[in-house]
Amino acid sequence: MPFELHIHQPMLSMGSCFSEEIGRRFLNARFNIVINPFGQQYNPVSISKSLIRLTEQRLYSDEDLITYNGLFHSFDHHGFFSTANPEKTLDRINDAFNKACYQIRNAEIIWITLGTAHVFYHKASSQIVNNCHKIPNTSFEQQLLHTDHIRQALQEAIRAVRTVNSKVRFVFTISPVRYVAQGFFENQVSKGRLHDAIYTLKSSEPDLFYFPSFELVMDELRDYRFYKTDMLHPSAEAVDFVWSKLHQWFQAETMLITGETERIHQMLQHRLLSENKSEQIRYYDTLLKSMNAAMEKYGTNYIDEISQISVKRHALLEEEH
């Protein structure tokens, strides 16, 4: 355990779909974290470019968008941000961007989850893209990044971030998701290059750490039972296992708080099957009491949830009368 995490530390998470799986568990436990402001990102060059742009606070404009199949896209962003209206697309992009600009300057931890060393190079714009947006393959050239290229890109991003935030720590991890579009052997080569780049970076950059997500799934679990039916993505049980190992980095007080916030999250997700309105009201009363107590005792934020549950409770009371 290189250092201890506490629940109120500002954090930023960038990377693959696996970073979202772990990030959601941080959010559910009420950690102060911003997750993937560019959407899912898999290759180290796209992640590095995004981090540098955040330090520059350079918002996106019409010039950064492309159109395809009636939608406006950004090559830096996941398709979640794409819409049929350029203003709406930019609003989505820049709203997430502004939140991340604030977080990157205050973050104590930046989590970076690397997925693959394979990249797609857009010939017309001469850039490595984060997302191809289903544009025909003929518009791209596929490349496998060399270790030195990966290390250099990440190092440039780390140093750019430290110009605006000198206290930040970086935690790297490698996604256990298997990217086999190029082949199983090619996936292993790709993961190896990511490992090599991070290993080299650790020896030259201070406050840079590695969390073994890949190794926990591949070497400790070592069973396809812990993958989804596509045999490529870790199952919920595998993500839970990685999350439980991450608990070893938590402060004792944070472990105590997390136990309560995760219990509250389960209550919020619980589907009330009983049609008895009095039972439903009692459930909401218990939930509201727990959320208010957590806010008062731990400083966790349940303002929106308290408002929503209060509205539901009030509606039930009116129905009863």
* pLDDT tens, position by position, 289-318: 999 999 999 999 999 999 999 999 999 888
Q: What is the average pLDDT value for the chain, to the nearest integer?
A: 94
What's the distance, CA 144 to chain centroid? 24
Pairing of strands 140-144, 71-74: unpaired
Q: pLDDT-based confidence at 158, cuts 50/70/90?
A: very high
Highest mean pLDDT pick, 12-21, 152-161, 269-278: 152-161
Q: pLDDT-based confidence at 261, cuts 50/70/90?
A: very high
Task: Read off the pLDDT of residues 265-282 as tens digits, 9 standing for 90 and up.
Answer: 999 999 888 888 899 999
pLDDT score recorded for residue 318: 83
How far are the Cα atoms of 1, 6, 195, 211, 257 from residue 214, in angstroms, in the given order? 17, 24, 10, 9, 27
The DSSP call for residue 276 is -
Give the C-alpha separation, 190 to 287, whole Å.
47
Q: pLDDT-based confidence at 58, cuts 50/70/90?
A: very high
Give Cβ neighbours of residue 237 (< 8 Å, ≥ 6 apart).
226
Q: pLDDT-based confidence at 223, cuts 50/70/90?
A: confident
Of 143, 161, 33, 14, nearest to 76 (Cα)? 14
Task: Read off the pLDDT of residues 163-191 as tens digits, 9 standing for 90 and up.
Answer: 999 999 999 999 998 888 888 899 999 99
Q: What DSSP letter does each residue of 216-257 carry, written as one string? A: IIIIII-SGGGB-TTSSSB-HHHHHHHHHHHGGGB-HHHHHH
Give the least confident one: 168-177, 216-225, 249-258: 216-225
The structure tokens listed for 44 are: 């180290």
Q: pLDDT-based confidence at 321, cuts 50/70/90?
A: low
Q: What percent of the chain has pLDDT over 70?
A: 99
pLDDT score recorded for residue 233: 81
Q: What region, left, alpha or beta, does residue 15 occupy, with left being phi > 0 and alpha being psi -120 to 50 degrees?
A: left
pLDDT score recorded for residue 260: 96
Pairing of strands 109-114, 169-174: parallel
Residue 177 and residue 115 in contact, taking contact as beta carbons nearer than 8 Å = yes
How far are the Cα atoms of 12, 258, 259, 270 from residue 7, in angstroms, in the given order? 13, 8, 12, 24
Average pLDDT score over residue span 96-116: 97
Give the C-alpha separation, 313 to 166, whole Å.
47
In the three-class reduction of DSSP (H, G, I as helix; E, B as strand; rest coil), residue 298 is classed as helix
The structure tokens listed for 110 are: 């930046």
Of 94, 98, 114, nearest to 14 (Cα)? 114
Other C-beta atoms closer than 10 Å to the C-beta of 300 total: 20
Q: pLDDT-based confidence at 224, cuts 50/70/90?
A: confident
Q: pTM here?
A: 0.92
